[in-house]
DNA sequence: AGCTCGACCTGCACGC
DNA sequence: TGCGTGCAGGTCGAGC
């Protein structure tokens, strides 16, 4: 599952293949992903032109020339690959084992007028696509309650404190709640909490109130911004099946300080702690009990 | 209203 | 080799 940095990376990767081009052919190989695909999905897309791509939270938004938006979510295992209608990567009459394995979960194939073939593959099918009128996007169920973009100026310590005020939920659960801050998921929340030196099980409300609380909120904002922007620069994480659209693995995983590092030493200078894994709300949380308070 | 937990679906790594 | 178990980046909705 791609979190914000992976979705951002994928959006950027898809842009040159799609922007300014027309859907020449759309192939829908099954009726549903996580949800049923919209009515007449194929015919509504074919012939329409992509005016631009952007990201909101963990959604990829493909703006179309007729006032609709193709909304795409990658779920846990969704990925896109780009190939060409003509080119050396196409081998007539032959296929590799890897290619045939991947093809079993190739659910949607877009052929663009520029010659790009964009294939959506999603083994677990937690991803989904929808077509929504552009002028209704903000009011749509998927978007109306989505919180602030963490890399925008809208996120600052004051806002975080305001949102967290009076909330008894674990700080980790609070940060993963898309209605507060958009785009954070399990990995980057663990990483940001480690950077900020905050314990995942601390109550969210402890970010609000007196000076010490404000300092925590400030540290957290800095940590969230840092973790996300560095991950985007590195091309997203590479965990299990995450790949950039180019097929290259992202390499931010090298920079994970706690995620996936159970029983390994804490990487904070001077800390002698050992990273611990603990299940919180059914998800693995990785943290250092020594330096995260 | 806020919170927790199970469900959704497939693949893979592990231990026996 | 094969089988069972647990785990995986997300979100939704039922039930307290």
Per-residue pLDDT tens listing for chain A (293 residues): 599 999 999 999 999 999 999 999 999 999 999 999 999 999 999 999 999 999 999 999 999 999 999 999 999 999 999 998 764 343 332 233 334 446 889 999 999 999 999 999 999 999 999 999 999 999 999 999 999 999 999 999 999 999 999 999 999 999 999 999 999 999 999 999 999 999 999 999 999 999 999 999 999 999 999 999 999 988 765 444 455 666 666 655 567 999 999 999 999 999 999 999 999 988 999 999 999 99
Residue A265 is among the residues annotated as catalytic for this protein: no
- Catalytic residue, from A55, A58, A172, A195: name it: A58
- Measuring from the CA of residue A122 to each C1' atom, give the nucleotide at the shortest distance: B10
Residue A58 is among the residues annotated as catalytic for this protein: yes
- Cross-strand partners of A14: none
Contact A119, A80 (CB under 8 A): yes
Q: Classify each residue of A215-226 as buried b or exposed e, where b means 16 or more C-beta atoms within 10 Å of its C-beta.
A: ebbbbbbebbee
Per-residue pLDDT reduced to its tens digit, A69-106: 999 999 999 999 999 876 434 333 223 333 444 688 99
Residue A38 is among the residues annotated as catalytic for this protein: no
Report how far residue A220's alpha carbon sits from residue A127's, in angstroms, rounded to the nearest whole number. 29
Structural element, H or E, at residue A161: helix A157-164
- Residue A67 gets the label, from left (phi > 0), alpha (psi -120 to 50) or beta, of left
Contacts of A288 (CB under 8 A, 6+ apart): A194, A258, A266, A268, A271, A273, A274, A275, A276
Q: How far is the CA of A158 from the C1' of B11 (A)?
A: 43
Angstrom CA distances, A34 to A17, A54, A74, A172, A178, stand at: 25, 22, 10, 26, 19
State residue A99's pLDDT score: 42
Contact A17, A81 (CB under 8 A): no
Q: How far is the CA of A278 from the C1' of B16 (A)?
A: 26
- Measuring from the CA of residue A240 to each C1' atom, give the nucleotide at the shortest distance: C8
- Catalytic residue, from A2, A5, A150, A200: name it: A2
Asked if the Cβ of residue A132 lies within 7 A of any atom of strand C, the reply is: no
Contact A65, A73 (CB under 8 A): no
Handedness of CA A10, A16, A20, A25 (dihedral sign): negative
- Strand B-proximal residues of A, range 139-198, CB below 7 A, are 167-170, 173
- Strand B-proximal residues of A, range 19-38, CB below 7 A, are 34
Structural element, H or E, at residue A130: strand A128-133
- Whole-model pTM? 0.92
Report how far residue A15's alpha carbon sits from residue A6's, in angstroms, rounded to the nearest whole number. 14
Helix A211-233 to helix A186-196 angle (10° resolution) is 130
């Amino acid at each position: 599952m791609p979190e914000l940095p992976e979705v951002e990376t994928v959006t950027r990767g898809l842009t040159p293949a799609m922007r300014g081009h027309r859907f020449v052919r759309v192939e829908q190989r099954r009726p549903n992903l996580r949800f049923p695909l919209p009515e007449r999905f194929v015919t509504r897309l074919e012939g329409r032109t992509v005016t631009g791509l952007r990201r909101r939270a963990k959604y990829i938004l493909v703006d179309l020339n007729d006032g609709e938006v193709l909304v795409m979510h990658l779920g846990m295992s969704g990925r896109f690959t780009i190939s060409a209608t003509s080119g050396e990567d196409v081998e007539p009459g032959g296929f590799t084992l890897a290619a045939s394995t991947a093809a079993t979960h190739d659910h949607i194939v877009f052929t663009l007028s520029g010659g790009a073939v964009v294939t959506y593959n999603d083994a677990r099918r937690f991803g989904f696509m929808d077509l929504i009128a552009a002028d209704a996007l903000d009011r749509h169920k998927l978007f109306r309650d989505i919180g602030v973009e963490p890399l925008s100026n809208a996120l600052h310590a004051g806002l975080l404190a305001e949102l967290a005020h009076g909330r008894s939920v674990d700080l980790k659960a609070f940060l993963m709640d898309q209605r507060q801050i958009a785009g954070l998921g399990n990995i980057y929340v663990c990483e940001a909490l480690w950077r900020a030196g905050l314990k995942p099980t601390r109550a969210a409300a402890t970010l609000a109130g007196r000076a010490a609380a404000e300092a925590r909120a400030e540290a957290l904002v800095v940590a969230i911004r840092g973790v996300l922007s560095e991950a985007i620069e590195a091309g997203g994480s590479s965990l299990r099946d995450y790949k950039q659209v180019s097929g290259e693995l992202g390499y931010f995983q090298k920079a994970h300080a706690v995620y996936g590092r159970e029983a390994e030493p804490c990487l904070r200078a001077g800390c002698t702690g050992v990273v611990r894994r603990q299940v919180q709300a059914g998800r693995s949380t990785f943290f250092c009990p020594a330096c995260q308070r």
